């Protein structure tokens, strides 16, 4: 599966979990945070494609949701191996 398709799947899954996904510039990798009642995932927009995938995979692993599809689980497993 292409990296852009992996990124799109992870982005969609994050949104399905009720999080707002934001790409911002700054001196950070990314992560999950809560702003009052909002659940937000912030990713550094200057990361390479692999870095964005890795950051989103780490956030999903940290959240540890139920009902992860086989495709998403495969991406998470691949990023842990890297």
Domain boundaries, the chain: 3-81
Cβ atoms of 77 and 57 within 8 Å: the answer is: no
Q: Which is nearest to 41 in space by CA: 27, 52, 1?
A: 52
Q: What is the pLDDT of residue 82?
A: 66
pLDDT tens digits, 2-53: 999 999 999 999 999 999 999 999 887 777 677 788 899 999 999 999 999 9
Q: Supply φ then ψ for residue 42, to 5 degrees.
A: -115, 130
pLDDT tens digits, 60-79: 999 888 889 999 999 999 88
């Amino acid at each position: 599966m292409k990296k852009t398709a992996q990124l799109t799947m992870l982005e969609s899954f994050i949104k399905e979990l009720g999080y707002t996904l934001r790409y911002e510039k700054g001196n950070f990798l990314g992560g999950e945070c809560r702003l009052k009642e909002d659940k937000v995932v912030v990713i550094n927009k200057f990361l390479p494609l692999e870095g964005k995938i890795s950051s989103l995979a780490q956030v999903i692993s940290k959240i540890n949701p139920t009902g992860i599809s086989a495709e998403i689980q495969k991406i998470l497993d691949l990023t842990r191996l890297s």
